[in-house]
Structure 1
């Protein structure tokens, strides 16, 4: 079954590599099926917390990973990484809103609100403000992806728990996802770290087995509008 109903896609990524971890296999599959997939990168590392050389390296790795998957465009907002809580909410909401308005996606992929990283939570909230159903061009579906070492590290069930209710079969594109993340050499870790290729593959296999597929990515459906042309 194709993903034709996903239409034009925008993925909101708090930091470079979050989108690959969360929905890289789905992104690859969508591109293969002819969809236009764009990414909204919310933050960028800044001194003194991040050195310029390291930031430039991560950005270059991201560009290589996106080229490998076939991402058509990246919108860089350049808010300070790991300091998104220091930025007035209206600025974040407006910036993400401008991207959503320009792209006019049918499907919006977001980080999960229960992720341990505050940047992820704020990016989710800003995107939800941008996606308020106030006109006919609002995204028809909003899905939250899971990010290894973020989604599973807060304190569920005291905080929001990631309980997937949507799965995308990535059996044919799992290797593309793994190859894309491998391009993030600065972020790649040896097993048993969660940001290892073995762990990424293992999660995909477990999620796939949940729905009798060889591999899958799991999502939480936030909103889905049916029947709108």
Structure 2
């Protein structure tokens, strides 16, 4: 599992940034990549300060990426669809913003003011994998293993779906052939292409705050490369299918 600082464990300075992220995204949760940044010295405030000016442009960018990804439905129940809707907003936002962050600021532009989006409903708490029954934990790990990510990263959506354990095995059965035949890879590449365009549009709006310590920044950039090339763009179409 990736090093992270959970929302319930966050010290005051981290919790304050988490609160700003939730408000800016209109999400009642903080995604894994940001929780991982909090585990690296100086990275969370640097990343937040870098992308904050571009946030008012995110709604339109997110919708353009979504429109570029026509996906089939993957009916797994109302609870899974509602949870996927939350993660879709976070994953689409993060794919665009963090691709821009990884590429770095380029140009100068002033962001027009805009109110944050309405807050989505609060889901059931995120389980801890070590607290799950062994059969449920195995099912969560099996879903993560479909992706073959370096370091065994388990997308948080799968862990969150453990609140409805009956969904996990049918979801694995549905996704496994789509992985094997390259369907998810094709949708991932489409998500990457669409998000790349939007990320470059946002780069002039990024800020350039002082960088964190070199070792922490190197680790953050390595994780960013994995998340923006594989982890997030694979979960974008999966989340859209679940919510469709």
TM-score norm. by structure 1 comes to 0.30
Task: Choose between structure 1 and 2: higher strand proportion.
Answer: 1
Instruction: Considering Cα pairs closer than 8 Å and 6+ residues apart, tell me whether 1 or 2 has the greater RCO.
Output: 2
TM-score norm. by structure 2 comes to 0.29
Structure index of larger Rg: 2
